[in-house]
Amino acid sequence: MKLVILERNSVGTDIDVSCFEQFGEVTYYANTTAEQVADRVQECDIIISNKAPMNEDTLASASNVKLICLLATGYDCVDLSYCKSRNIKVTNVVNYCTAAVAQHTILLALMLSEKITFYDNYVKSGAYSAQDRFSNFDRAFHDLENRAWGIIGMGTIGHKVAQLATAFGCKVFFYSASGKSTCTEYPRVDLDTLLQTCDIVSLHCPLTDKTRNLINKTAFEKMKPTAILINVARGPIVNTQDLYNALITEKIMAAGLDVLEKEPMEPSNPLSQIQDSTKLIITPHMSWASVESRTRLISEIVKNIQAFLDKTDRNIVNP
């Protein structure tokens, strides 16, 4: 069998991926652009990829491909209908980075709530050494305890965040973006109620037609001026220009992002103009990428391939 890994570096060069060689001949590419996909998958039986587009344009000449293994949970980069018409199975990996993303969510909330970057810079600038009192709390901050934390998307990661937020004493509410949640542990509210009442709003829902641009000007108008928005889901769920305007006009207090509408971040992105890290923190889509998560990801892909060869469905997203 012939396998191709289109975005080998997307899991980090510190993670061993030689385990795939047990299945056959493997061709490795550090990264692959959309324009390069069709040429690189022509001869393969199994494609292992992350964000590379998988559709008729890229797969039409790949007559041998039988399986696409995504190095991710989300599969919005794949035309599932086309793959199904070709009898190409598509698999993803679930729950491999739950702890890491939930941890990052809490980290962003704490940093923005306590304005940690301001105080770190205050000390390192020499201002603390120059003052005549032992403490400084010029930028007011508040306890997380008794704050209302709203979760949009109560899946596995959302549920883990809810548990951690509860441990800090937050009152957790959630909105089911799909409308299919069966969670009964936390109060379920409509979107307007969540936006209007919550001090922290974190996004953990998949990108769908329903969630694209969900957090826009209208949503920001409903939020508290002291609210913090955290997006560790998908960038297009939040309208970039509307978020910029909301931060500049203080419709909300702060935002923490690990995802953006276009990645990597474009120089023209208006959010790049906001240099105040007490108002905006952006990390480069790395909340999922702990060593443990990336190791688990590769292990799960191996299991997906073995299951396919054993003619057993495992993590198939286009049955």
Q: What burial class does residue 110 get, using C-beta atoms within 10 Å of its C-beta: 0-12 exposed, 13-18 middle, 19+ buried?
A: middle
Catalytic residue among 285, 294, 296, 300: 285
Q: Which two tokens stand for residue 246?
A: 């909301």
Catalytic residue among 21, 263, 266, 292: 263
Residues 175-191 pLDDT 10s: 999 999 999 999 999 99
Q: Specify the pLDDT at position 161.
A: 98
Q: Specify the pLDDT at position 264.
A: 95
142 an active-site residue? no
285 an active-site residue? yes
Mean pLDDT, range 238-260, rounded to an integer: 98
Residues 197-222 pLDDT 10s: 999 999 999 999 999 999 999 999 99
Q: How large a percentage of the chain has pLDDT more than 70?
A: 100
Residues 24-76 pLDDT 10s: 999 999 999 999 999 999 999 999 999 999 999 999 999 999 999 999 998 98
Mean pLDDT, range 145-171, rounded to an integer: 98
Catalytic residue among 40, 234, 294, 296: 234
Mean pLDDT, range 109-124, rounded to an integer: 98
188 an active-site residue? no
Q: Specify the pLDDT at position 250.
A: 98
